[in-house]
């Protein structure tokens, strides 16, 4: 096995992110640049674009903002590039990349990986009528289906690199595969190297969201400093799977135990069964250590055999949605905003009845600034300014159009203090729902096209994952209580990061010091967390389904809250449809600690100021 390490720069976390990463990472010196553009919402947008124009459906930013200005430097430095920029049309993305390289007179080999897009097999899939893997829902109406994509893994990427590719373009693969593919190629890891597969996937998971590992969305956000010039993450991976995370010198942001730990827990669900096409990962024992300023070491993870299926995500339309934001200020701002929203719906519903359109299937009013996101834990202050978000769903676009028209038309009959910055009136947009199911790996035909040379790829399923192999860690020891206990907000004891898994919210909580974890564990019970998010959960706190996981290696807890995002993604009309702010809500949770520990905490916080 090679002794060298490989240096990989995480240059994109989503379609539409800033273009500043590529020159920054090229200037810092890397072996690979990896780009993650895709999410379920992105796939639905690209599918609609492709349906209108067969030449579209991929991340055009990859051509215009990455290759066009930087291909010559990439070629000169010998940097390999891996990107899932292909979206639902990787062939067209490959053609655009080849045309650009030809125009610039560059001799770089481009590999395009296809096989994930299963929309052409809709007849066969509909005949089998798979049920939704998380909810058991029936297969949707085939006429409403926009996209079907299997989540491919890293081995086709590694094969493309072995075939001499300088640039690898994929359709839908799991986000971490762009990094794991490079590691497999460089180190010769095999499918049976389960711990190495999991470790390389963890490296990819930390790089896949760009600056979220270097101070973006960080609990201690002020430590990130100059986020206008935030540094993008660089992972230096060793053959044993351990790695360090850094960022380019002279950039803003920060790389700390906190930033890296938050990103490790981001949207992973069960941390001992994070299921990917190449491995099932167990991050529970991973240790994260500060080596120096902006340099963090991450130990190897544990892995289990890969599943025999690819997770497959289908998106389909389910009517329309629409809404907008308006603001009110002055005395009684929240009451005035609520009155305005109530009357917008009253007017719109009267017109719906006149057109025999039926009522809205779902409505939403959120008064931002009035603490409505905190439910029963909201403060009782009376804000002098709020933003009202008003939205609805309906089977007919015309019904949403009526709501949006009446929203604008009530402007002269409103309570005082209405304001807002706007241009054109909002328009109805499709509601896109996600439907996930499993596809046997042998049913997927993967093909690698390397500048016109075609290579068929078929992976070996190997041994299947056995959930009984997981050994759950013991809960933290019961905290030592004293006669003098005081309550402090969780934010003083922990970092937190949240996100979505479909209609579920994932909230990771990491103790700032291992000594705090027993107290945090005791305070954050499924019942207390359900109360804090009960106003978001379908059916309320009493109906909550919450899973709680312990990660002793990083002194952390991961929560998975079901049915809490109003459908999630583009199916939701919530202000925070992806749970990105839920960690901030949980950080207000009280935690009881001994007074002596609180005194030490005060001393530590005083030194850090």
Q: How far apart are CA 33 and CA 43, in angstroms?
A: 22
pLDDT of residue 281: 98
Q: How far is CA 283 from CA 76, 294, 447, 559, in A?
A: 37, 22, 32, 14
pLDDT of residue 85: 98
pLDDT of residue 140: 96
Cross-sheet strand order for the sheet of 295-298: 288-292, 295-298, 243-246, 234-237, 6-12, 32-35, 80-83, 167-170, 110-114, 446-450, 453-457
pLDDT of residue 563: 96
Q: Which helix (H) or strand (E) holds 22?
A: helix 21-28
DSSP 493-539: TEEEEEEEETTEEEEEEEESSGGGHHHHHHH--HHHHHHHHTTTSTT
pLDDT of residue 458: 81
What ranges in 270-410 are assigned the alpha helix state H? 333-354, 397-409
Tell me the three state secondary structure of residue 370.
Answer: coil
Cα end-to-end span (Å), the chain: 47
pLDDT of residue 422: 76
pLDDT of residue 3: 67
Q: How far apart are CA 600 and CA 250, in angstroms?
A: 34
Q: How far is CA 15 from CA 48, 57, 58, 86, 325, in A?
A: 15, 12, 10, 11, 24
Q: How far apart are CA 17 and CA 398, in angstroms?
A: 33
Is the Cβ–Cβ distance between 315 and 434 less than 8 Å? yes
Segment-wise mean pLDDT, segments of 10 residues, the chain, 609 residues: 85 93 98 94 88 94 98 98 98 98 98 97 95 94 94 97 98 98 98 97 98 98 96 98 98 98 97 97 98 98 95 94 96 96 97 97 95 76 92 98 94 93 87 93 95 86 84 93 91 97 95 97 97 96 97 98 93 94 97 93 79
**For the chain, domain boundaries:** 6-116+151-306, 320-428, 485-608
DSSP 252: B
Q: How far apart are CA 421 and CA 389, in angstroms?
A: 13
Q: Which CATH number fits domain 320-428: 3.30.160, 2.60.40, 3.30.70, 1.10.8?
A: 3.30.70
pLDDT of residue 463: 79
Token output for 373? 């996101």
Tell me the three state secondary structure of residue 125.
Answer: helix
Token output for 496? 């937190």
């Amino acid at each position: 096995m090679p002794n060298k390490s490989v240096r990989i720069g995480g240059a994109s976390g989503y379609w539409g992110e800033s273009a500043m990463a590529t020159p920054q990472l090229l200037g810092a010196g890397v072996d690979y640049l990896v780009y993650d553009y895709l999410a379920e919402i992105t796939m639905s947008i690209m599918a609609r674009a492709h349906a209108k124009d067969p030449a579209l459906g991929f991340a055009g930013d990859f051509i215009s903002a990455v290759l066009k200005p930087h291909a010559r430097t990439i070629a000169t430095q010998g940097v390999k590039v891996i990107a899932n920029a292909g979206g639902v049309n990787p062939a067209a993305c490959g053609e655009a990349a080849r045309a650009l390289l030809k125009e610039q007179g560059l001799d770089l080999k481009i590999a395009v990986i296809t096989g994930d897009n299963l929309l052409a097999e809709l007849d066969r899939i509909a005949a089998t009528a798979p049920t939704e893997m998380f909810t058991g829902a029936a297969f949707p109406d085939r006429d409403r289906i926009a996209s079907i994509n299997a989540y491919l893994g890293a081995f086709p990427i590694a094969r493309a690199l072995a075939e001499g590719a300088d640039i690898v373009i994929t359709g839908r693969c799991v986000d971490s595969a762009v990094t794991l593919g490079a590691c497999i190629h460089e180190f010769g890891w095999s499918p049976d190297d389960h711990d190495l597969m999991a470790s390389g996937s963890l490296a990819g998971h930390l790089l896949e969201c760009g600056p979220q590992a270097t101070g973006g969305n960080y609990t201690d956000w002020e430590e990130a400093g100059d986020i206008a010039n935030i540094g993008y993450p660089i992972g230096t991976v060793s053959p044993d799977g351990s790695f360090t995370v850094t960022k380019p010198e002279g950039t803003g942001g920060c790389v700390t135990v906190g930033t890296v730990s938050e990103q490790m827990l981001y949207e992973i669900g069960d941390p001992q069964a994070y299921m990917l096409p190449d491995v099932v990962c167990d991050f529970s024992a991973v240790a994260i250590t500060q080596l120096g300023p902006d340099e963090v070491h991450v130990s190897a993870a544990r892995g289990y055999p890969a599943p025999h299926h690819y997770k497959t995500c289908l998106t389909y339309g389910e009517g329309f949605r629409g809404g907008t934001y308006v603001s009110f200020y002055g005395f009684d701002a929240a009451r005035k905003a609520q009155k305005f929203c109530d009357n917008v719906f009253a007017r719109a519903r009267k017109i719906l009845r006149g057109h025999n359109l039926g009522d809205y299937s779902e409505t939403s009013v959120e008064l931002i600034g009035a603490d409505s996101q905190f439910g029963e834990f909201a403060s009782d202050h009376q804000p002098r300014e709020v933003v009202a978000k008003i939205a609805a769903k309906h089977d007919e676009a015309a019904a949403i159009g009526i709501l949006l028209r009446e929203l604008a038309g009530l402007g002269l009959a409103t309570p005082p203090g209405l304001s807002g910055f706007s241009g054109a009136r909002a328009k109805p947009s499709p509601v896109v729902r996600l439907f996930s199911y499993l596809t046997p790996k042998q049913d997927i035909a993967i093909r690698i096209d390397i500048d016109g040379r075609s290579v068929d790829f078929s992976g070996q399923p190997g041994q299947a994952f056995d959930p009984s192999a997981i050994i759950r860690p013991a809960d933290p020891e019961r905290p030592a209580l004293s006669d003098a206990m005081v309550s402090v907000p969780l934010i003083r004891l922990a970092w937190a990061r949240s996100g979505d898994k479909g209609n579920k919210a994932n909230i990771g909580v990491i103790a700032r010091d291992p000594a705090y974890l027993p107290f945090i564990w005791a305070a954050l019970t499924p019942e207390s967390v359900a109360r804090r998010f009960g106003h978001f959960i379908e059916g309320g706190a009493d109906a909550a389904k919450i899973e709680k996981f312990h990660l002793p290696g990083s002194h952390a807890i991961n929560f998975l809250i079901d049915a809490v995002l109003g459908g999630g993604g583009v199916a939701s009309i919530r202000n925070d449809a992806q749970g990105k702010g839920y960690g901030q809500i949980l950080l207000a949770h009280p935690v009881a600690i001994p007074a002596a520990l609180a005194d030490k905490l005060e001393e530590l916080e005083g030194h850090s100021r």
